[in-house]
Amino acid sequence: MNQYWVAVIGTSAIAFILKYSGHSVPEKWLSHPRIQKVNALIPIALLSALVAVQSFTEKSKLMVDHRLLGLSVAIIALLLKAPFPIVVISAAASSALLYNLNN
């Protein structure tokens, strides 16, 4: 068994233990207002990190390309309170247009 399998099995065991131990946390702790606020912000932080990684990296390099235009258009559409389908379509269309103009 090489080091990669040891790492995979080890991280799997750690993930299982963390998930299993999460079920034993008392309800009183989870209902605390500060914990509720943090839990509400975690998905926002994770989604923001995912958008940043997918928009500005390619393999292991930082990139600024057509995806930045699409993200910018989406932000502008959101600030203008456009419906979600319009935000997605306008971001995709602007990104695709710039991509096709460059290639």
Could you report the per-residue pLDDT of 29-55, keeping only the tens digit for each? 888 999 999 999 999 999 999 999 988
Distance CA 81, CA 17 (A): 43
Is pTM beyond 0.85? Reply is: no
Q: How far apart, in whole angstroms, are the C-alpha atoms of residue 85 and residue 81?
A: 11
Give 60's pLDDT tier (boundaries 50, 70, 90). Answer: confident
Domain ranges of the chain: 1-25, 26-102
